[in-house]
Amino acid sequence: MQVESNEGGAQGEVERLVARPGVVSVVLVRHGQTAWNRERRFLGRTDVPLDERGRREAMVVGQRLAGLPVDRVVSSPLSRAADTARAIAAPHGLPVQAHPELVELAQGVLEGQLGAELPLRHPAFLAAWLADPGTARIPGGETLVECQARGLRALQEIAAAGRPGRAVVVVSHQMLISAVLCHVLDRSLHHFREVGHKNAAFSVLAFEAGRLVADHVHEHAHLAALGTEGQPAPGPALRA
């Protein structure tokens, strides 16, 4: 398993992994960038569309995955994910299927707020989050454990319906993807920041013997051609 790749030479490796006989591959993609990502606002389930850079990211990841043997494209119902999924599905002539359990972590009262405001506006929650991000409940939202459980349930269901030697592309969100990868990599949710995904990056999971295994995590070499224009500056880790 390759934990991270940002080298262009990874292209053939991804194709090799997906084409293995007897294995269903799940290509797990984070949606492209939105204005709220750029502004470092909490998105959660607020339906914020892709911005200009995000649309370019969706196009580029679609081109990157165009050569894979993809049978199905499944997405969170939020438009930033669904529009990214459509850019991936188009070269394969496939529809995009929405799955409600792929939606982002519900972030309650935080949605729309700036990450920089968190220490002043919600100090009690921030303290609980830093102590245990898995069980700290966002006011009006859900816990990362709950998000992880429904994400894994959805991926298991989707992968179980796949065909060996073929791929299913799943487009979702930062917090759900990080939580799922923690489980697959056998890490506690305290480490979710270490397995974060850039917008429009992807990971490849193998579904074997009824369980998900990480093959290739956080591939983002395809985004290099876009440069850094329009990207957000580094900011808080609790984001969507």
Polymer length in residues for the chain: 240
What stretches of 102-210 adopt beta strand conformation (E)? Answer: 167-172, 202-208
Q: Residue 24 above 80 pLDDT?
A: yes
Number of domains in the chain: 1
- With respect to residue 112, please indicate whether it lies within any of the assigned structural domains: yes
Average pLDDT, integer, range 93-103: 98
Token pair of 218, please? Answer: 């956080």
CATH number reported for the structural domain that contains residue 202 in this entry: 3.40.50.1240
- The closest of 97, 108, 107, 93 to 171, measured between CA atoms, is 97
Q: Give the model's pLDDT for residue 235.
A: 57
Rounded Cα–Cα distance for residues 13 and 70 (Å) = 16
Going by pLDDT thresholds of 50, 70 and 90, the confidence category of residue 236 is low
Q: Could you tell me if residue 239 is inside a domain?
A: no
pLDDT digits (tens, 9 = 90+) for 185-199: 999 999 999 998 999
CA distance readout (Å), 118 to 20, 40, 109, 124, 138: 45, 11, 11, 10, 12
Which band of pLDDT confidence, cut at 50, 70 and 90, is reported for residue 8? very low
pTM summary value: 0.93
**pLDDT tens across 110-138, in order?**
999 999 999 999 999 999 999 999 999 99
pLDDT of residue 234: 62
- Position 205 in a domain: yes
Catalytic positions: 31, 104
Task: Please report the pLDDT score of residue 58 as a whole number.
Answer: 98
Domain-located, residue 170: yes
Note down the domain range covering 120.
8-226
Identify the CA nearest to 30 among candidates 144, 150, 152, 176: 176
Residue at 238 is within a domain: no
Domain assignment present for 231: no
What are the structure tokens assigned to 166, written together? Answer: 């073929």
Model confidence over 166-182: pLDDT tens digits? 999 999 999 999 999 99
Rounded average pLDDT over 14-41: 94
pLDDT at residue 13 tops 80? yes
pLDDT for the residue numbered 232: 75
Residue 20 is assigned to a structural domain of this protein: yes
User: What integer best gives the mean pLDDT of the chain?
Assistant: 93
Unique residue bearing structure tokens 């492209």: 32
**Residue 1 forms part of a structural domain:** no
